[in-house]
Amino acid sequence: MDYISKPFSSVILKHKVRIHLELKLHRDNLEDIIRERTIEISKSHHKLHQEITERIQIQKALIEQRAYFLQLFQNSPQAIMIVEPDGKIFEVNKGFENIFGYAVNEIKGQYCKNLIVPEEMAAEDETFHQHILSGKIVSKETFRLRKNGELIPVSFLGYPAIVKDQIEGLFICTEISLKEKI
């Protein structure tokens, strides 16, 4: 509230009226600005809520796919091995343990060629590895070594897998005598 005391001048009165009219205009305009901004925020909130819902659904689908993959990987009777680009073993499954006799903690981080590849087949193994790193699929019947030194015939299948912009190898070995039983 603004009071004008007597005697008052018309200049002061006009000035105060002008100030009050400007304040009213700003107050009315401010309400419009707040209303528009509230609508924008509401729309943004709705869009954000939709994006969060979509991300949650995608995460659930990824978790489900990962669970299927892990079950397939771990429960496969074939020896499955994931090899890093430098040839170190990243992961093996229980089928690998059963066929070759190595526990996961014994073989992880080791070079495959030092454990299951017979010396006379080192060049063949290197060729397989290079083909996979160049993006090719390799399939061959060959021989590999068990932990106890026994030479066994295997059906070897190698796939390139792109992980973090690098090609890694996925290898599946089936013991041929086991393959014939399946």
Question: d(Cα 4, Cα 15) in Å, to the nearest integer?
Answer: 11
In a domain, 2, yes or no: no
- The reported pLDDT for the residue numbered 30 is 82
Order of strands, sheet of 151-163, starting from the edge strand that comes earlier in the sequence = 89-92, 79-83, 166-175, 151-163, 138-145
Q: Is the domain of 53 the same as that of 94?
A: no
pLDDT for 53: 95
Neighbours of 88 (CB within 10 A): 13
- Tell me, what's the pLDDT at 4? 62
**Average pLDDT per run of 10 along the chain, which is 182 residues long?**
66 79 80 88 94 96 94 92 90 94 91 91 91 91 94 92 82 75 48
What pLDDT shows up at residue 167? 81
Q: Identify whether residues 97 and 16 lie together within a single domain.
A: no
Q: Is 81 in the same domain as 160?
A: yes
